[in-house]
Amino acid sequence: MDLGSSSGSNPTEEISPKLPSSSYKGVVPQHNGRWGAQIYEHHRRIWLGTFADEAEAARAYDIAAQRFRGRDAATNFPPLTETDPENASELTFLSAHSKVEIVDMLRKHTYHEELRHSRRNQQLGRNVGGRRTGTWSERELLFYKVVTPSDVGKLNRLVIPKQHAEKHFPLREGDKGEEGNKGVLLNFEDAEGKVWRFRYSYWNSSQSYVLTKGWSRFVKEKGLNPGDVVSFWRYFDGSDMMQLLIDCKNVQPGEEFAASSSSDVQMNESEENDDQGVRLFGVNIASSPGGSSSRGNTENR
């Protein structure tokens, strides 16, 4: 994502001199009565979105400033400190996400939701190795896929097998199509607690279900190559809210892995097709029924 792009808002709209200026740093008035937030980095303006409330726009600037400039950030409100537990958890959340991701959350107004999600997962605790002990020990496998060259290539999309897509991530008819406003956003948490947001769509031209926006970043960060395994899971927390989980394993051809930890994949060398014996998190995922139908953790655009 280009940090300098407007992403649906109109940051380049000229501000009339008759509009009152804001007393907050990084906040500009809009002609429609809303307030915009922006920050500069290397003499380049980065648009953070528009907000109904002036103070809300100022807080969005503060969030971005503390991610971009750390302890040196000049903020509108008292900055986050490590001495306060809630502040400390938010600082951890900021450091765990890239600048691009934080800007994307602010523009889409999902920052506070994802922060709450992260804090809830932190309460589940981690084991010594840093992986979730609550969510990941009680997860249920939905399905897995051995990725193809096109899944990790320049097409920047992952094709979800139709039977799994329609069972676990069903789309309403109004959400189908390849136009920019079609599809939904799916949130997945990986084993390290990082939240990944993918656009999930149905392409009429190829009659396929795909993960698009956000997928190429996942491929790059996880170092995925053809033949590696990506798995999809779900977990119900104490409030019966379902969370979607994602994990992957880099598999070397002919290599056999012992399922000694929750991220291990064990592959049977004697099988070479998609039905090969694969053990992921100690579960034989080649023979798993894949769980029951669910819409998933979706956000309509």
The whole-number pLDDT of residue 254 equals 62
Higher-pLDDT residue of 175, 149? 149
Residue 272 has pLDDT above 50, yes or no: no
> Which whole number is the average pLDDT over 97-110?
90
Strands 283-284 and 278-280: antiparallel
What token pair was written down for 44?
């380049």
Out of 246-250, 257-261, 277-281, least confident range:
257-261
Residue 264 has pLDDT above 80, yes or no: no
Residue 285 has pLDDT above 60, yes or no: no
Out of 113-122, 165-174, 209-218, 226-235, least confident range:
113-122
Out of 87-101, 214-228, 246-260, least confident range:
246-260
The Cβ-side half-sphere exposure at 132, using a 13 Å CA radius, reads 24
Residue 222 has pLDDT above 60, yes or no: yes
Residue 138 has pLDDT above 80, yes or no: no
pTM of the model: 0.49
The whole-number pLDDT of residue 135 equals 52
Q: What is the mean pLDDT of the chain?
A: 76
Q: Where on the phi/psi map is residue 107: left (φ > 0), alpha (ψ -120 to 50), or beta?
A: alpha
Higher-pLDDT residue of 39, 276? 39
Confidence of residue 51 (pLDDT cuts 50, 70, 90): very high
Confidence of residue 229 (pLDDT cuts 50, 70, 90): very high
The whole-number pLDDT of residue 166 equals 92
Query: Furthest-apart CA pair in the chain: how many Å?
Result: 75
Q: In what order do the strands lie in the sheet with 283-284?
A: 265-267, 278-280, 283-284
∠ CA 210-187-178, rounded to 5°: 30
The whole-number pLDDT of residue 34 equals 94
The whole-number pLDDT of residue 115 equals 85
> Which whole number is the average pLDDT over 163-180?
77
> Which whole number is the average pLDDT over 183-201?
86
Q: Percent of the chain beyond pLDDT 90?
A: 38
The whole-number pLDDT of residue 282 equals 42
The whole-number pLDDT of residue 251 equals 80
The whole-number pLDDT of residue 49 equals 95
Nearest to 246 by CA among 179, 196, 202, 296: 196
Contacts of 70 (CB under 8 A, 6+ apart): none
Taking the C-alpha atoms of 163, 164, 170 and 173 in order, what is their torsion angle to the nearest 10 degrees?
-40
Contacts of 239 (CB under 8 A, 6+ apart): none
The whole-number pLDDT of residue 195 equals 84
Cβ–Cβ under 8 Å, residues 44 and 4 = yes
Task: Using the Cα atoms of residue 152, residue 7, residue 185 and residue 238 in order, give the sign of their dihedral.
Answer: positive
The whole-number pLDDT of residue 106 equals 94
CA 28 from chain center: how many Å?
A: 29
Higher-pLDDT residue of 174, 119? 119
